[in-house]
């Protein structure tokens, strides 16, 4: 198969603007790299799972553009998204005397992208980087928008930077090697864009959910494109999450509590978000913002994507209390008040606080 | 003594602009804090040396503005400017459920300011912070301009961010407790502004060097003000050091080699910069840019400030080679080429590379 760019989405952030190329076999496509700032050295950061599949191909694509292409394999998984792993990137950069024009390529899923992005933001106070997301989740969400970071024992993504890549390459060919569970996890973030911003897209996802689950490539290309467009529109208006951008966290407040409560890695991020969207939609219903039919429809689609729709038990004696405690520690909380993204009518999201008693009812209603 | 703002210098960086207030007894001056963004929590980060002297005073000044004022004492010194110490700041923020409006106050010298600034840049991807520099070096240099970061075993300040404070408070009263060696180290960065940008200021420093060494407060206030103005002018044109800003590193390329070669902490940063300026001026002379009289005059002033003017031996067998190796690892190098800040005529700086042989001559000429 030859390199083919199917869609290009532009993220408009003044001098930090960048293109997202979506297509087939982009890794080895030398031409897409010609727009990047020139540099002597490139560093491909990947993980032990993805590297054997795609590093050689990307390295070949970069060879005409850089005198030296270094590679680094990080351990795979959310459990390694901490300082010690991040430091491996600085170690290899410094051991190779990499200068401040050195360009980093994040080849992998969200964890590789977040850590490589934060390393690029911080190495010598900022070097260029390119996102090459190889999971559906990363292609439709984490590689777009400039959020980078690592976890802290007391909270996820608590240390990081807003730092934009020079380019994002979404190579659909890399999705072929994804385990089905990760495909479903990625679809959670695709589905998310419907209720918060675009019910026509939601209709389309409903009509195409089987093709998406089975990785039909033309269908996937449209899902990635439309997801990136919506995210680009939101991020373009609120790069640093002072307002509107928070709507992208629909399902994430409950979802983060699930991830933290079960221990990171037990559920995939997308799985937690899938279930979290059911919970946030249920809260929206209890607040009188949407009807029960809407919640049921969203729940059906999430289930059809292969995602969990029932909330796990985090604590035997006071389960709702455990959820509330975890959510109060979320980054989006302010002075201990939890700010929920709710659906304020289909296709429109809003930020709301809610009485603890009501949130407890929602958690109980959504439990297994 | 009551709070008195003698000078205010404005740093113009669009929405990242901020004031530098210079005066007496500013820490306890509640009114200067009223311009800051409102927040529930403030965290004062200081060190074990400075905290006993000034934390109580600053805490009293902040009390009317924040419901909760937390404090943290870091171990003192450049040797602790690494990830483990930085993480103490994240630990206390997360243990106290500090939200994303929490404002950090860096109370101390350059190390405290660099680490607190990087923590503020990274905590939840960015919270507000205020620099309260208590050393002359930090007041005239490190607290202005938004450079933050930590050291890596393979290089100083290799991991960090450009991140601007909301405000800088230069309280001259805090300089009274500085050891003489640190006063001299601060004067190195004051002297620096003369040869690179303003020979009238250089004349003034020459005429007032004794008053400065003995901490005369009106003289100091002017020195801090003029230093901040020159730095503000440079940083305002080149926030992220893509060009002009590099001139602020006059003396720093040789200076960093001295610091790294002797082991960080052996010489103070300002001492290494003092000697580094003699070396960089000598290089400028060898390149035919300034005459010997200028080098001699600068050397005399640096000595009068109580600073070393002879370069230490870093390696018995190949001393110049050791300097060159270290300088090639400096952040300002590109693809292994060392970029020196030279004096291109008194009051004007430029970036230049130079043949290794010539640099070796300079190092030998400046050696003890």
**Encoded tokens for B77:** 């010194």
| Contact residues for A280 (Cβ-Cβ < 8 A; gap 6+) | A250, A251, A253, A254, A340, A341, A342, A343
Is the CB of A160 less than 8 angstroms away from the CB of B99?
Answer: no
Alpha-carbon distance A349 to A198, whole Å? 10
Q: Tokens 């937390």 belong to which residue?
A: B70
Q: How far apart are CA B72 and CA B85, in angstroms?
A: 11
Per-residue CA distances from A108 to A45, A53, A149, A219, A285 (Å): 8, 10, 15, 22, 37
pLDDT score for A3 = 79
Q: Is A72 annotated as a binding residue?
A: no
User: A81-85, B206-210, B262-266: which has the minimum mean pLDDT?
Assistant: B262-266
Catalytic residue among B256, B259, B271, B285: B256
**Helical spans, DSSP H, in chain A:** 51-62, 83-95, 110-122, 136-137, 180-197, 199-213, 217-237, 252-262, 269-286, 292-304, 319-328, 356-366
pLDDT at B330 over 90: no
B221, B313 in Cβ contact below 8 A? no
Residue numbers in the known binding site of B are 76-81, 110-114, 134-135, 147, 156, 174-177, 189, 252, 269
Give residue A190's pLDDT.
98
Record: contact B126-A161, CB cut-off 8 A: yes
Q: What is the mean pLDDT of residues B350-365?
A: 96
How far B232 CA lies from chain A's nearest CA (Å)?
A: 19
Q: What is the secondary structure of B161-190 as a DSSP string?
A: EE---SEEEEEGGGGGG--HHHHHHHHHHH
CA distance readout (Å), A309 to A68, A251, A281: 48, 12, 11
Number of residues written out for chain B = 368
Give contacts of B336 with chain A, Cβ < 8 Å. 97, 99
The verdict on whether B256 is a catalytic residue reads yes
pLDDT at B13: 87
What does A100-151 look like in DSSP terms, one character per residue?
TT-EEEEEESHHHHHHHHHHHHHBTT---EEEEE-SHHIIIIITSS-EEEEE
Instruction: Identify whether the C-beta of residue B314 lies closer than 8 Å to the C-beta of residue B257.
Output: yes
- Residue B337 binned pLDDT confidence (cut-offs 50, 70, 90): confident
Q: Are B112 and B47 in contact (CB under 8 A)?
A: yes
Q: Mention the CATH class of domain B4-177.
A: alpha beta
Q: What pLDDT band is residue A102 in, cutting at 50, 70 and 90?
A: very high
Asked whether the beta carbons of residue A158 and residue B123 sit closer than 8 angstroms, the reply is yes
In angstroms, how far is the first alpha carbon of chain A from the final one? 46
Does the pLDDT value for residue B1 go beyond 70?
A: no
Lowest-confidence range among A137-146, A166-175, A177-186? A137-146
B interface mutation test: which of A93, A119, A122, A330 has the most B CBs within 10 A?
A122
Active site residue B361: no
Residue A68 phi/psi, 5° resolution?
-140, 125
Instruction: Note whether B162 contacts A: Cβ–Cβ < 8 A.
Output: yes
pLDDT at position B107 over 70? yes
Over 80: is that where the pLDDT of A1 sits? Answer: no
Contact of B107 with B54, CB cutoff 8 Å:
yes
Q: Cα separation of A328 and A342, whole Å?
A: 17
Of B99, B152, B155, the CB nearest to A333: B99
Cα–Cα distance measured from residue A59 to residue A332, given in angstroms and rounded to the nearest whole number: 39
- Considering only alpha carbons, which residue of chain B is nearest residue A147? B125
B174 to chain A, closest Cα gap in Å: 30
Q: Could you tell me if A194 and A208 are in contact, meaning their C-beta atoms sit under 8 angstroms apart?
A: no
Say if residue A198's pLDDT is above 60.
yes
The predicted model gives A42-57 an average pLDDT of: 97
Say how far apart CA A75 and CA A241 lie, in whole Å. Answer: 30
Give B147's strand partners: B162
CA contacts within 13 A on the Cβ side of A150:
22
Q: Chain A contacts of B147, Cβ < 8 Å? A: 125
Q: What is the rounded distance in angstroms from the CA atom of residue A364 to the CA atom of residue A296?
A: 17
pLDDT at A13: 87
Chain A residues with CB-CB distance to B152 below 8 A: 90, 94
Asked if A122 lies within 8 A of B147 by C-beta distance, the reply is no
Q: In this structure, are strands B167-171 and B4-11 parallel, antiparallel, or unpaired?
A: unpaired
For B151, name the nearest residue in chain A, comparing CA atoms only.
A124
Please give the Cα distance from B348 to A303 (Å, whole number). Answer: 68
Question: pLDDT-derived band of residue A155, with 50, 70 and 90 as boundaries?
Answer: confident
Contact assignment for A158 to B94 by CB distance below 8 Å: yes
Residue of chain B whose alpha carbon sits nearest to that of A335: B99
pLDDT of residue A237: 87
State yes or no: is A332 an active-site residue: no
State how far the Cα of B18 lies from the Cα of B358, in Å rounded to an integer: 42
Q: Answer whether A145 touches B (CB < 8 Å).
A: no
Say if residues B205 and B190 touch (Cβ distance below 8 Å): yes
Comparing CA positions, the residue from B243, B245, B218, B242 lying closest to residue B231 is B245
Q: Report CA-CA distances (Å) from B50 to A307, A311, B58, B186, B321.
A: 54, 50, 12, 17, 39
Q: How far apart are CA B350 and CA A234, in angstroms?
A: 43
Whole-angstrom Cα distance, residue A121 to residue B78?
23
Query: Could you tell me which residue, A237 or B331, shows the higher pLDDT?
Result: A237
pLDDT at A50 over 80: yes
Q: Chain A residues with CB inside 8 Å of B157's CB?
A: 125
Domain boundaries, chain B: 4-177, 192-366
pLDDT tens-digit series, residues A268-286 = 999 999 999 999 999 999 9
Nearest CA among A174, A146, A228, A191 for reference residue A46: A174
Contact call for B162 and A97, based on CB within 8 A: no
Q: Judge whether A4-177 and A180-366 match in fold.
A: no
Q: Distance of alpha carbon A128 from its chain centroid, rounded?
A: 20
A335 vs B57 pLDDT, higher one? B57
As a whole number, the mean pLDDT across chain A is 94
CATH number of B192-366: 1.20.1090.10
Q: How confident is the model at residue A243 (pLDDT cuts 50, 70, 90)?
A: confident
Q: Which residues of A touch B241 (CB under 8 A)?
A: 125
- Contacts of residue A329 in chain B, CB cutoff 8 Å? 94, 97
> Over chain B, what is the mean pLDDT?
94
**pLDDT at site A48:** 97
Residue-wise DSSP of A189-236: HHHHHHHHH-HHHHHHHHHHHHHHHTT-HHHHHHHHHHHHHHHHHHHH
CATH class of the A180-366 domain in this structure: mainly alpha
Identified catalytic residue from B206, B239, B241, B361 = B241
- Residue A231 is among the residues annotated as catalytic for this protein: yes
Closest Cβ–Cβ partner in B83, B94, B161 for A154: B94
How much is the average pLDDT of A19-34? 89
Nearest CA in chain B to A333: B99
């Amino acid at each position: 198969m030859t390199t083919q760019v199917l869609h290009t989405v532009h993220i408009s952030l003044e001098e930090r603007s960048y293109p997202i190329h979506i297509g087939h076999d982009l890794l080895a496509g030398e031409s897409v790299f010609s727009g990047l700032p020139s540099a002597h050295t490139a560093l491909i950061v990947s993980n032990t799972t993805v590297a054997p599949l795609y590093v050689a191909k990307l390295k070949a694509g970069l060879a005409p553009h850089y005198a030296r292409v270094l590679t680094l394999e990080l351990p795979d998984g959310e459990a390694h998204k901490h300082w010690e792993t991040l430091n491996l990137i600085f170690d290899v950069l410094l051991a190779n005397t990499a200068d401040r024009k050195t360009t980093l390529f994040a080849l992998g899923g969200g964890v590789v992208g977040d850590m490589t992005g934060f390393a690029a933001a911080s190495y010598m106070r900022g070097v260029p980087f390119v996102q090459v997301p190889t999971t559906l989740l990363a292609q439709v969400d984490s590689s777009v928008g400039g959020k980078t970071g690592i976890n802290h024992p007391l909270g996820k993504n608590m240390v990081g930077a807003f730092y934009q890549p020079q380019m994002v390459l979404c190579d659909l060919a890399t999705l072929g090697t994804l385990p089905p569970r990760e495909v479903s996890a990625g679809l959670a973030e695709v589905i998310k864009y419907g209720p918060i911003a675009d019910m026509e897209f939601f209709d389309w996802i409903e009509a195409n959910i089987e093709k998406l689950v089975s990785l039909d490539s033309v269908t996937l290309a449209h899902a990635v494109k439309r997801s990136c467009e919506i995210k680009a529109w939101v991020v373009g208006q609120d790069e640093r999450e002072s307002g509107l951008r928070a709507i992208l966290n629909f399902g994430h407040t409950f979802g983060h509590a699930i991830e933290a409560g079960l221990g990171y890695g037990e559920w995939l991020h997308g799985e937690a978000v899938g279930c979290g969207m059911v919970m946030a939609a249920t809260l929206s219903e209890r607040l009188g913002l949407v009807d029960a039919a809407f919640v049921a429809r969203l729940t059906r689609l999430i289930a059809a994507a292969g995602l969990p729709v029932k909330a796990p038990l985090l604590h035997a004696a006071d389960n709702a209390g455990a959820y509330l405690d975890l959510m109060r520690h979320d980054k989006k909380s302010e002075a201990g008040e939890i700010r929920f993204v709710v659906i304020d009518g289909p296709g429109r999201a809003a930020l709301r606080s809610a009485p603890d008693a009501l949130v407890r009812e929602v958690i109980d209603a959504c439990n297994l």
